[in-house]
């Protein structure tokens, strides 16, 4: 049985909260996809889990300032986004990889990442070095001259990750980043996450629970727009039993927590 986790235990040791949400509500069309969410996240790698329709992508979009909360309080990097701040300045400090991202098919990989660095207003003197470093970190330096239209699905995903980190963000948001990556690439990606998470708040939305177990310091489980669990991967493992659904201990913990939440909601 997983113990209740005091949010104070999630405090980073050196930095203030990068994400501080209180009773946040966010609409996706007519539906309130995030409904009364309390969340505080600091430096480290945080896995965002939940079934389809749980509100993961809507939450990521709100954290990326694409969607404005319909209620509650949301502070990002110390800035209250509900107070109509200078979002342009805030966005310079955020890296974001959506599930689907657009690009000019005739751009080379380097041109694509350079273009995104320009949009993020990276100092032009830093752009060449920042682009090269980003490409090296995702293993695309040897494909920098290839056009985007020639890349495989996995390589496109890595190019998307490169643009998300080119501005050396303080808050990195990745929505299903491992889609299309082969097993070896996923191992490299996990190592990259752990490295970035030493100095940055990284939030990874994924359906691949094993990626969370291998790379994340903390886990947030969403269901029906609410956080039904926050804790470590080990806490998630401890929530399950051998009789619960799943092939691994962490999958059984995930299934057990969702089942308990649904049982409680049905009462």
Q: Distance (Å, rounded) from C-alpha 261 to C-alpha 86?
A: 38
54 with 128, same domain? no
107 with 12, same domain? no
120 with 60, same domain? no
- The count of structural domains within the chain is 2
163 with 174, same domain? no
* Model confidence band, residue 266 (pLDDT cutoffs 50, 70, 90): low
pLDDT at 3 over 90: no
Phi/psi at 118 (nearest 5 deg)?
A: -65, -45
Q: Helix, strand, coil shares of the chain as percentages rounded to 5?
A: 40, 25, 35
**Residue 188 included in any domain:** no
pLDDT at 13 over 60: no
68 with 161, same domain? no
* Model confidence band, residue 14 (pLDDT cutoffs 50, 70, 90): very low
Residue 83 has a pLDDT of: 77
* Model confidence band, residue 11 (pLDDT cutoffs 50, 70, 90): very low
50 with 4, same domain? yes
77 with 18, same domain? yes
List the single range of 6-15, 48-57, 257-266 with lowest mean pLDDT: 6-15
Q: What is the 3-state secondary structure (H, E, C) of 112-142?
A: HHHHHHHHCCCCCCCHHHHHHHHHHHCCCHH
48 with 154, same domain? no
Task: Provide the whole-model pTM.
Answer: 0.90
DSSP class of residue 264 equals H
* Model confidence band, residue 223 (pLDDT cutoffs 50, 70, 90): very high
pLDDT digits (tens, 9 = 90+) for 202-215: 999 998 888 888 89
pLDDT digits (tens, 9 = 90+) for 69-79: 999 999 999 99
* Model confidence band, residue 126 (pLDDT cutoffs 50, 70, 90): very high
pLDDT at 5 over 50: no
9 with 88, same domain? yes
**Residue 245 included in any domain:** no
Phi/psi at 46 (nearest 5 deg)?
A: -115, 125
Tell me the residue range of the domain where 81 lies: 1-93+170-180+194-232+261-267
- pLDDT average, residue stretch 225-240: 95
The two three-digit tokens of residue 261, written as one number: 């939440």
List the single range of 168-177, 180-189, 227-236, 246-255 with lowest mean pLDDT: 180-189
60 with 176, same domain? yes
Contacts of residue 121, Cβ cutoff 8 Å, sequence gap at least 6: 88, 92
CATH number reported for the structural domain that contains residue 228 in this entry? 3.40.50.300
- pLDDT average, residue stretch 163-179: 95
């Amino acid at each position: 049985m997983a113990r209740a986790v005091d949010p104070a235990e999630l405090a980073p040791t050196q930095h203030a909260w990068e994400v501080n949400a209180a009773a946040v509500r966010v609409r996706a069309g007519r539906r309130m996809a995030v409904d009364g969410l309390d969340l505080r996240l600091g430096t480290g790698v945080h896995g965002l889990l939940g079934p389809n329709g749980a509100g993961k992508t809507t939450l990521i979009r709100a954290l990326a300032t694409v969607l404005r909360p319909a209620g509650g309080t949301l502070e990002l990097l110390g800035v209250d986004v509900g107070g109509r701040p200078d979002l342009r300045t805030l966005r310079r400090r955020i890296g974001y990889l959506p599930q689907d991202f657009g690009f000019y098919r005739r751009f080379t990989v380097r041109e694509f990442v350079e273009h995104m660095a320009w949009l993020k207003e990276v100092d032009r003197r830093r752009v060449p070095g920042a682009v090269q470093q980003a490409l090296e970190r995702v293993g695309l330096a040897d494909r920098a001259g290839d056009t985007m239209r020639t890349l495989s699905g996995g390589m496109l995903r890595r190019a998307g990750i490169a643009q998300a980190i080119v501005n050396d963000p303080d808050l990195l948001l990745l929505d299903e980043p491992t889609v299309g990556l082969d097993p070896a690439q996923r191992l490299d990606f996990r190592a990259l996450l752990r490295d970035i998470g030493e100095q940055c708040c990284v939030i990874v939305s994924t359906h691949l629970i094993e990626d969370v177990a291998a790379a994340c310091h903390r886990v947030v489980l969403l269901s029906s727009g609410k956080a039904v669990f926050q804790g470590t991967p080990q806490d998630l493992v401890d929530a399950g039993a051998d009789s619960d659904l799943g092939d691994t201990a962490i999958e059984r913990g995930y299934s057990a927590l969702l089942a308990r939440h649904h049982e409680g909601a049905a009462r």
